[in-house]
Structure 1
Amino acid sequence: MSANASDPTADERHDTSVPDSEEIFSWVQDLTAYAARGTQTLDDRRSADYLCDKFREFGLTDIQVQEAESFNWHASYSQLEVGGTTFPHEPVMFSFDTGNAPFTTGPDGIVAPIVDVGDGTQDDFAQVDVHGKIVLFDLRFIMPRSALLEVGEFIYDPHGTLDPADLDTANPYVSTYEDVVGRAIKRGAAGFVAVLADYFDSDDIRTEYLEDITIPGLWVTKAVGADLRAATAHGTSKAVLRLDGERRATPARTVIGYLEGADTDTIMIQSHHDSAWDGGVEDASGTAEVLALARHYSRIPQAERPKTLMFVLMDSHWTGYSAHEKFVETFITAADLPRRIVANITLEHIAKQAEVGADGQLKVFDRPEYRGIFENVSPALKTVIDEAVTAQDLQRTIRLSADKLVPLIGELPTDADLIYDAGVPTISLISGPLYLYDKADTIDLVHKPDLGPVARAFIDIVNRVAQTPSELIGSGEQSAR
């Protein structure tokens, strides 16, 4: 293949098939015009149609859209009131999960006392009776950056920018939400109010789907949480919690296209095209990187592509990963497949760093968010990753062993989790900025200068994976899962 890992500057000058940051950013702009893409908008075809058009433009073959049964959740009305005072809030998406049907607390809502359980630990619940009541708790994010650093095998930070003060910041992907609400449901609570205690001053958060959240819930900011606690401190006022809406079946759409190689052994290059909001970072940026690699390799003759390349852009990232499950069943675990997926490359979240400022507002920095490359490949390919990161100056990047991390947290915290779990050797780039699930994730939070370098780094990586005998790509630990 044409890219030369030892001279990326020459590549950038002479290989016009590699899109630059401006061109990649133009695709981010196109995608963010489709706000709340995929299953977040009922029966949404816009981003899937756009991506099929781009694949056709680039000359990919066997372009297809695989549909999987998924759903759309929508709140039409919500209310939070104590003692006649209305408190600002947002519905907890996917709460009140009653299946594909309307849901309602009725015109009067749930009228009940609020019970404060603090952080919602087992000990906190043991001290109070929450049956028939509304549980108030502090949501905590529990995977700080420092936890990833502890299992990192390679860190590229040539200017020493890792700030110890930032390492306690945790992204919202791993939180106490499921455990606390599970305890509330088990003890008969009628509803819940979750205080975003580790967040900036926003309640516009949409976390991923969790099953069995059968009671209604609302988000409030840290400041509103303090006001609620003051209003209910004496335990004499009942609250009104109302949530009405519906959950309706809708298909998730995975867009797939191929560039045939000299061999049918296949490298899968993946991201997800759906979003909760505008999704500039999550995940227009990752989708645009997949398009960049598709455009580049489409200009290389088939004879110069040692392996087939399969470009995959998923849906249902927020609604239970049904698209991912169907993809695995169809293209990885099914018998007698015409192409064998021997490696996975996943690209997500080209993001600016952000922290909670001293004033509680989101403070954004014009530098890349700390990012990880989770992998379970051979020692030789680990070295290739490190060299590509260094050559393209992808600052603040950590390479981590997926096989070491997954036993600690139970899953690979990227869109590649089900692919990795199916035994495919994986190299997965991701960052987890604080605003990842928030309405604040607009196009201006994409770290634009990194778009081109990320594409070039992963061209180097894909080239070397393609040249590696398929049986030598993985770490050798896949069979242990």
Structure 2
Amino acid sequence: MEKQGLQPGGTAQEAIMPNNETIFAWVSDLAAFGRRGTNALDDRRSVDYLLGAFKDFGLTGIQVQESESFHWRASRSKLIVGATPIPHSPAVFSFNAHDGNGPFSTGRDGLSTPLADVGDGKEDDFAQVDVTGRIVLFNLRFLVPRSLLLAGGEFIHDPHDSVNATDLDTANPYLTNFEDVLQRAINAGAAGFVGVLADYFDSHDICPEYTEGITIPGLWVTKRAGARIRALTASGAAHATMHLEGARVPTTARTVIGYLPGRSTDTIMIQSHHDAAWDGGVEDASGTAEVLALARYYSRIPQEHRPKTLMFVLMDSHWTGYQAHEHFVETFVTRPATPHRIVANVTLEHIAKQAEIGPDGQLEIHDLPEYRAVFENVSAPLKTVIDDAITRHDLQRTIRLPSDKLVPLIGELPTDAGFVYDAGIPTISFISGPLYLYDKADTLDKVHKSDLAPVAQAFADIIDHLATTPSDRIPA
């Protein structure tokens, strides 16, 4: 499909944006790798694929920045309450007993203790229960409902009035009570934990992002299994046996970088992350494919018609502590080792279908885009550009939300651009947070395929304006 490209001196250049089928083919290729990046030990598959794409598109300065990260994997786990085996999944990044790399194990006989049920794990809950030496049972709660995003938005594109009040309480799984509850449990001398996925659909296959300092072993169970455990406890079977063993080992995180030089070394960074905990069709094969679409599109525009340099960046270590992101910021922003000055960041993540919890607890998928936000901290004229691009390309259920309103409330920018944003780079970050984001259920069928090209087109509009806006007029 044709689109008018960068417009230096008023002369429009024609370029062709890859269509939905082409972009989805890249999504499919990446998802076929399954676990990738630091989630698979010393994995180069997505990196090599992306290097090949960047070379095919004619990008220059192609490189792989390597960073020290780690790989966590459980080799064995078991949970028995009374005499009843309970289905579960290991809580990734738990049992970080060495606060670093090495094997972990509850021993041949496992950890066998009474259960201490602290409900939602608030301070008052802990005050009523002695958890010393025990396995703590608590409810994992998701803290950011869609209604919070809608309340903070300055603009929403919803031409069909599709916002359903019954959907607004659904929360994404990014921000939870996990860190606070586990810190209370560890401080109180707990020996392990079982987290009940109380706000989740009927799955225990969740792989949240890394939380530092979880020194005790832990397992996840479904809401239904949590109710079963509590029923067993009420009937007198309050004893639990937990087994968890595996290892955390060092591995290399790899960030793929490529350039399309412009007439200026002032540079627009276009970013996503290529690693995945599962197949990662939505997170983040879809975001990576959007970056590929933009790289191929802009590669067809001659350098003399690109006012600024474009830098395409695909990160690793999204789950394992963001070491690649920190290393990138140190090298290219804080103490830049290149002549390129990054003046704006565009980040693309999660082209997703809407998900809800059905009446039977199962995951329900709707053929609608998941509610999504564009977090930004740019000037008023560029805010208008974002709104116009969202409307022109009909990115339904998309909210523009000033980052400076959200970040003070939750303490961080909840996107892959967080480290770049914290480093002071003006950032425009597109993201959604469907329920299945960290789950094994994040498969290709969850990608909102019909939105792939429109999202790329909208962000090409935005990038065109970033490229022709004087760099000192980009920030808010």
Scaled by the length of structure 2, what TM-score is found?
A: 0.97
**Residues 405-448 of structure 1, C-alpha deviation per residue, up to 9 Å, x if partnerless?**
11111000000000000000000000000100000000010000
C-alpha separation between the residues in 2 aligned to 1:34 and 1:336? 33
C-alpha separation between the residues in 2 aligned to 1:259 and 1:336? 18
Does the 8 Å contact 2:73/2:247 carry over to 1?
A: yes
- 1:368 aligns with 369
C-alpha separation between the residues in 1 aligned to 2:337 and 2:316? 26
RMSD: 1.3
- Cα offset, 1:25, TM superposition: 0.3
**Residues 375-394 of structure 1, C-alpha deviation per residue, up to 9 Å, x if partnerless?**
00000000000000000000
What is the total number of aligned residue pairs between the two structures? Answer: 467
Are positions 1:78 and 2:77 aligned together? yes
Matches within 5 A, 1:169-318: 169-235=170-236, 237-318=238-319
- 1:17 aligns with 16
SS in 2 for 1:248: strand
- 2:25 aligns with 26
C-alpha separation between the residues in 2 aligned to 1:273 and 1:396? 25
- Cα offset, 1:3, TM superposition: 4.1
- Cα offset, 1:335, TM superposition: 4.9
C-alpha separation between the residues in 2 aligned to 1:134 and 1:234? 18
Are positions 1:114 and 2:115 aligned together? yes
- 2:142 aligns with 141
C-alpha separation between the residues in 2 aligned to 1:47 and 1:36? 10
After TM superposition, the runs of 4+ consecutive aligned structure 1 residues lying more than 2 A away are 2-6, 14-17, 234-237
- 2:439 aligns with 438
Does the 8 Å contact 1:5/1:391 carry over to 2?
A: no
Letter of the 2:287 counterpart? G
SS in 2 for 1:173: strand
Letter of the 1:362 counterpart? L
Q: Percent identity?
A: 68
Does the 8 Å contact 1:373/1:428 carry over to 2?
A: yes
- 2:335 aligns with 334
- 1:11 aligns with none
C-alpha separation between the residues in 2 aligned to 1:448 and 1:61? 30
Matches within 5 A, 1:454-469: 454-469=455-470
- 1:55 aligns with 54
- Cα offset, 1:262, TM superposition: 0.5
C-alpha separation between the residues in 1 aligned to 2:158 and 2:237? 55
- Cα offset, 1:232, TM superposition: 1.2
Does the 8 Å contact 1:113/1:235 carry over to 2?
A: no
Does the 8 Å contact 2:331/2:337 carry over to 1?
A: no
- 2:86 aligns with 87
Does the 8 Å contact 1:135/1:192 carry over to 2?
A: yes
**Residues 151-179 of structure 1, C-alpha deviation per residue, up to 9 Å, x if partnerless?**
10000000000001000000000000111
SS in 1 for 2:195: strand
- 1:479 aligns with none
- Cα offset, 1:84, TM superposition: 1.6
- Cα offset, 1:237, TM superposition: 3.8
- Cα offset, 1:469, TM superposition: 0.2
- Cα offset, 1:234, TM superposition: 4.7
C-alpha separation between the residues in 1 aligned to 2:15 and 2:378? 30
- 1:126 aligns with 127
Letter of the 1:256 counterpart? I
**Residues 322-355 of structure 1, C-alpha deviation per residue, up to 9 Å, x if partnerless?**
0000000000010564100000000000000000
Are positions 1:453 and 2:454 aligned together? yes
C-alpha separation between the residues in 2 aligned to 1:307 and 1:148? 32
C-alpha separation between the residues in 2 aligned to 1:452 and 1:228? 47
**Residues 248-297 of structure 1, C-alpha deviation per residue, up to 9 Å, x if partnerless?**
00010000000000000000000000000000000000000000000000
User: Which stretches in structure 2 are left out of the alignment for 5+ residues?
Assistant: 7-12
Letter of the 1:292 counterpart? A
Does the 8 Å contact 1:388/1:457 carry over to 2?
A: yes
C-alpha separation between the residues in 1 aligned to 2:70 and 2:439? 20
- Cα offset, 1:17, TM superposition: 2.3
Scaled by the length of structure 1, what TM-score is found?
A: 0.96
- 1:424 aligns with 425
- 2:382 aligns with 381
Letter of the 1:145 counterpart? R
Letter of the 2:430 counterpart? L
- Cα offset, 1:356, TM superposition: 0.3
- 2:35 aligns with 36
